[in-house]
Copies of this chain bind each other. A is one copy, B any other.
Amino acid sequence: MFVAINFIDCDVHYQERFEELFQSRAGEIDTMPGFQRMEVLRPLENGGEYLIMSHWDDEESFKQWTKSNAFIKGHSRGFEDIRKAKEAGQKPPMRSSFKTYNIISQ
């Protein structure tokens, strides 16, 4: 089984908006072949990163999603927020770092 995690360093002032984006998500990813589940983890330690974690049957299913219209639609509001910050000469309100894994034991 394949797992992708997006580690999100989110500015404090953007956290409420960030969480709201996920709580009101359209569920585009859920329709993708090979998708199993996703979870959004809020850090309990100060300054910690959010984790956006998705489980897939295999890496290929995940890659197909990143190339899909569902990916663009699912990220449109967040990408728009980043674009607006750049236009206003501000740094983006969140920075993301993507990592991938295989599950070797359960």
Contacts and interface: CB of A to CB of B under 8 A. Distances in A.
Interface string A2-46: 010100000000000001001101000000000001111111110
Nearest to A102: B42
> Copies per complex?
2
Interface residues of A, number: 26
A40 B105 CA distance: 5
B42 A104 contact: yes
A22 B104 CA distance: 9
Contacts of A103: 39-42
19 contacts: A5-B51, A19-B104, A19-B105, A22-B105, A23-B104, A23-B105, A38-B106, A39-B105, A39-B106, A40-B105, A42-B101, A42-B102, A42-B103, A43-B101, A44-B99, A44-B100, A44-B101, A45-B99, A48-B99
